[in-house]
Amino acid sequence: MNVIIGYVVVISLIFGAFIIHGGNIEVILKAMPTELMAIFGGAFGAFVVGNQTKVLKAVLKLLPTIIKPSKYTKTRYMELMALLFSTLVKVRKEGLMAIEADIEKPHDSPLFGKFQEIGSDHHVMKFITDYLRIMVSGNLNSFEIENLMDVEIETHHNEAHAPIAAIVRLGDALPAFGIVAAVLGVVNTMGSVGQPPAVLGEMIGSALVGTFLGILLAYGIVAPLGSLLEQKLDESTKELQCIKTVILASLQGYAPQTAVEFGRKVIFSTERPEFEELESYVKSIK
């Protein structure tokens, strides 16, 4: 919703200011189709050339998430903390081998089945169960597991950042393609230099629309989009860091409640539940 509201504000106020100052909106509307064709045509072609197929597919997959609200809410984090707490309590009471069946088939696990939102997130569950499986195997110490987690989180971040970087580069290129469209308009105007001043003025105005649209699309449409997607990526990375902190604290011998408290401290303050709030939620799950 914020994206739609923001775009409406950008477009309505910019064009509204133009009209209030006495501008003729018909000049822009008349020139817009051909200018947009030149700008978007050039930008799209360069976008396809400059990115691998996997990045292009990732961009298409990423775009629908723009209008969706963030899923990383306080409620989600409390469920995540409760899932980790319940798992660590079972390990502490019954031993690591007690969770072997749960991590092999997490979707059929009665332990994980109580947490629907986290349980339905394949990527998060894969991250959790993979490292619980390593804990069960007992072949790595906490320092080795921490290093492996850091590498995986970095890989996740870099992979998810590739389509975002492609969108940011597209935004950076749009003003240049706007200039290209404007130059073509000027060339067309120079070829009609014998026309009356009124005709030449209209042609020059149409040419300048290309520069205007290129800059507007770059800084009013695409650049904010890239910024929004980067913020969403930071949220997804933060969740993995939270899981990492809890698991490592458990490996170092801390009690489940203390390990979960370590993880709670990692969460962004806007989504972080209070200690008493999280404690009450965990007790309600039990």
Helices then strands, counting H and E runs in the chain, come out as 12, 0
Q: Residue 56 domain-assigned?
A: yes
Q: What pLDDT, on a 0 to 100 scale, did the predictor assign at position 141?
A: 81
CA 33 from chain centre, in angstroms, equals: 31
SS3 content of the chain, % helix, strand, coil (to 5): 85, 0, 15
Q: Residue 196 domain-assigned?
A: yes
Q: Residue 216 domain-assigned?
A: yes
| Rounded average pLDDT over 253-269 | 93
Q: Residue 174 domain-assigned?
A: yes
Q: Residue 12 domain-assigned?
A: no
Residue 37 domain boundaries:
26-286
Of residues 197 and 177, the one with the higher pLDDT is: 177
Radius of gyration of the chain (CA): 27
Least confident of 47-61, 128-142, 150-164, 198-212: 198-212
The yes-or-no verdict on residue 81 having pLDDT over 70 is yes
The yes-or-no verdict on residue 220 having pLDDT over 80 is yes
| Two structure tokens written together for 57 | 């597919």
**Cβ–Cβ under 8 Å, residues 281 and 86:** no
Q: Residue 239 domain-assigned?
A: yes
Please classify residue 18 by burial: count the beta carbons closer than 10 Å to its beta carbon, then call 0-12 exposed, 13-18 middle and 19+ buried.
middle
**Cβ–Cβ under 8 Å, residues 78 and 278:** yes
Euclidean distance between CA atoms 91 and 235, whole angstroms: 28
Least confident of 17-26, 181-190, 270-279: 181-190
For tokens 């031993």, the residue is: 95
| pLDDT classification of 29: cutoffs 50, 70, 90 | confident
Q: What pLDDT, on a 0 to 100 scale, did the predictor assign at position 193?
A: 67
Q: Residue 17 domain-assigned?
A: no
Of residues 141 and 154, the one with the higher pLDDT is: 154
Domain tally for the chain? 1
Q: Residue 11 domain-assigned?
A: no
The yes-or-no verdict on residue 188 having pLDDT over 80 is no
For tokens 């921490």, the residue is: 146
For 25, the enclosing helix (H) or strand (E) is helix 25-49
| pLDDT classification of 194: cutoffs 50, 70, 90 | low
Report the alpha-carbon angle 210-216-218, nearest 5.
100
Question: Greatest CA span in the chain, whole angstroms?
Answer: 92
